[in-house]
């Protein structure tokens, strides 16, 4: 399945994307916003090969309209009974930060989640030091629902982790 936005194309993640994911995983300026750990080629390949088998997720590579792979976005923990899912996005290529690609890709996946999958809610977790992502999520309409106080230890300091959610009726506005 392919989803198209104004600036981005969301397509299935392929084994050929491995080197980009390894590079982003090993870049502390990128991974500090995600798992905060490095993954090697073998781990990334195993993850990519497992994607089609897991029905509780939809994972996409983010490409520019020109075909450059710049990140990924996912719906994880898809719960058909409660009609919700965990939303995640990563623009791993720093040349594309703060230039609208994350917003465009997010809009495409959120539209798909609410219109095609008929989900009621998307939720996410974000670290307090990820100001750019917090701004993106607020622009998309996500609301802060809670705080896990001092839940993350990064850079010799404890940080809060915010829980945010977006309801379908909020997205329709």
Query: Are the beta carbons of 73 and 60 closer than 8 angstroms?
Result: yes
Q: Catalytic annotation on 101?
A: no
| Distance, CA of 9 to CA of 129 (rounded, Å) | 28
Structure-block tokens of residue 128: 């307090």
Structure-block tokens of residue 2: 């392919």
Q: Which residues contact 43 (CB under 8 A, 6 or more apart)?
A: none
Strand partners, 159: 152
Among residues 101, 103, 127, 137, which one is catalytic?
Answer: 137
Active site residues: 137
């Amino acid at each position: 399945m392919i989803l198209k936005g104004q600036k981005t194309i969301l397509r299935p993640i392929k084994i050929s994307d491995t080197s980009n994911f390894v590079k982003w995983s090993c870049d502390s300026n990128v991974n500090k916003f995600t798992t905060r750990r490095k993954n090697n080629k073998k781990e990334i390949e195993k993850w990519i090969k497992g994607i089609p088998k897991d029905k509780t997720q939809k994972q996409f590579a983010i490409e520019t309209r020109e075909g450059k792979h710049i990140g990924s976005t996912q719906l994880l923990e898809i719960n058909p009974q409660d009609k919700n899912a965990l939303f995640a996005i990563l623009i791993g290529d720093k040349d594309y930060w703060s230039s609208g690609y994350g917003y465009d890709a997010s809009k495409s996946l959120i539209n798909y989640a609410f219109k095609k999958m008929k989900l009621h809610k998307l939720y996410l977790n974000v670290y307090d030091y990820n100001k750019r992502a917090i701004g993106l999520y607020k622009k998309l309409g996500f609301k802060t629902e809670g705080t896990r106080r001092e839940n993350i230890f990064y850079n010799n300091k404890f940080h809060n982790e915010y829980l945010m959610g977006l309801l379908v009726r909020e997205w329709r506005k």
